Amino acid sequence: MQTVLKRLASLRRLTRPLALAFVGIVILSLGAAFLLIDIYRTAQLPPIFQALTLQFLPQWVRGVIFLAVGLAVLAAGLWSLSGVVVITFDTPPDGRELVVGYQRSTGKPQLAVISGGAGLLILASLGRMAERLTCITPVQDAVEYYYRASSLFNFENVMFVAPTPTPLDVEVTLDDGTRKDIRENLSHNEQLAARHATDLRLSPPAGDGREIEVTQVTLDALAGADAIILGPGSLFEAILPNLLIPAVREAIARSSARTIYICNLMTEPGLTTGFGVADHIRQFRRYGGFAPDYVLVNTPRIDPEVRQVYAAAHQTPVYLAPEEYEETMVRATAEVTTRDLVLEGSVVVEADLASSVVQLTASLDHPGESRTVRVLRHDPDKLAAAIMEILRRD
């Protein structure tokens, strides 16, 4: 009810002209009624007019019906009118007016994020720009981990929620036919570096045919979101597992929110080896039944030193392949410059989304030994700028 009142409140500046228009319509209606009465008394009309004017009903019943229909039509007209705004030009001397369509600003957006691991914490900084940021954790993770990890930061308007009351098991099938629990940290297994995932499913008992219970706060977050952000994070570990839940897929399908996928910077050994941007998008079609409205892809080339570090870990940058390029459009704002194209039904937005950072690494075999390396990470501020730019579109 409050939403309806807020929308109708936009007509407050038009109260006087609307009142005059209403009075004019009433006077015209009275004039038309008098003319019709005179015609009925003096002219012979076909029987169809008797039916159209409900002559077979008592006069007071006809009056009630026409009043109800008139009020319904008037309400529909007012509701449609509340979706436009009248702007008076100050410059032209003749006081011309322009009627334009507009999208009402309701303040900060409500966002829902489906991700996991460090990527979920990276995007949680977006909470300062949102009315509420609901971070939906992977089905196999305990939500307590994220609350403990987030205690190191000062996030605003952020809530972490689990999609199901209890964690579920997720099983991935690799291209050599082997099946692995997604918790096995496959990307760090040297023997699986050349492999990639070919199937993903919930393991019993959650996947034994019984309906999977989903937390109401998850469904409410997806239903009320202005945007549903997928990532950043591992595609098969952090994002796709939630799409295996029918209720989550249905909630996303019913939601009017725009879906934004933040594509991985690098491939994941054992999971997405050899994947390009299009391969990532196809996984959403396969497991979620939709292609994201927007896909954010990091575009700057990587320093040779950083590339060498990732090559040693069997990882390659995720770029758009030359054959994937179609007609493009460049958008530039004060905050971010992007190049867009349509790929697999998604608008792919190329932008500078990452920064290289120095990371201290230690050897498991030799705990006393450590070294510093430069690695690439999604930049929270760059991501926030790119996401907000998408939200300002249309």
φ, ψ (nearest 5 deg) of residue 267: -70, 160
Which structural domain, as residue segments, surrounds residue 349? 110-391
170-174: strand order across its sheet: 179-181, 170-174, 197-202
Say which residues have a Cβ less than 8 Å from residue 302's Cβ, sequence separation at least 6. Answer: 310, 317, 376
List the chain pLDDT tens, one digit each, 394 residues: 555 666 566 666 677 777 877 787 888 887 777 777 777 677 776 777 667 777 777 877 777 787 788 788 877 777 776 665 554 444 445 555 555 454 545 579 999 999 999 899 999 989 999 999 999 999 999 898 898 888 888 888 999 999 999 999 999 999 999 999 999 988 888 899 999 999 999 976 444 456 899 999 999 999 999 999 999 999 999 999 999 999 999 999 999 999 999 999 999 999 999 999 999 999 999 999 999 999 999 987 777 888 888 888 899 999 887 666 655 555 656 556 666 788 888 999 989 999 887 665 554 455 555 566 778 889 999 999 999 999 988 5
User: Residue 300's domain is classified under what CATH number?
Assistant: 3.40.50.10680
What pLDDT score was predicted for residue 206? 47
Query: Does residue 292 share a domain with residue 217?
Result: yes
Taking CA atoms, 181 is separated from 120, 169, 197, 237, 379, in Å, by 21, 7, 12, 10, 30
Asked whether the beta carbons of 196 and 273 are under 8 A apart, the reply is yes
Query: Does residue 363 share a domain with residue 343?
Result: yes
What pLDDT score was predicted for residue 299? 86
Using the 3D structure, point to which of 101, 121, 141 is the last residue of a domain. 101
What pLDDT score was predicted for residue 235? 97
Query: Does residue 378 share a domain with residue 249?
Result: yes
What pLDDT score was predicted for residue 89? 45
Domain count, the chain: 2
Strand partners, 99: 86
Return the biggest CA–CA distance within the chain. 109
In the numeric block, which tokens belong to residue 257?
């929110």
Query: Does residue 120 share a domain with residue 91?
Result: no
Rounded Cα distance, 386 and 249, in Å: 25
Say which residues have a Cβ less than 8 Å from residue 305's Cβ, sequence separation at least 6. Answer: 374
Whole-model pTM: value is: 0.71
Query: Does residue 347 share a domain with residue 368?
Result: yes
**For the residues of 164-193, what is the DSSP string, one character each?**
SSS---EEEEETTS-EEEGGG-GGG-GGGT
Query: Does residue 196 share a domain with residue 96?
Result: no
Using the 3D structure, point to which of 73, 101, 129 is the last residue of a domain. 101
Query: Does residue 203 share a domain with residue 130?
Result: yes
Give the residue from 225, 226, 263, 255 showing the smallest Cα distance to 349: 263
Neighbour count for residue 233 (Cβ, 10 Å):
24
Q: What is the pLDDT of residues 235-262, one digit of tens each?
A: 999 999 999 999 999 999 999 999 999 9
Rounded Cα distance, 319 and 274, in Å: 11
In the numeric block, which tokens belong to residue 26?
């009433």
Query: Does residue 240 share a domain with residue 210?
Result: yes
Query: Does residue 155 share a domain with residue 133?
Result: yes
Using the 3D structure, point to which of 101, 131, 157 is the last residue of a domain. 101
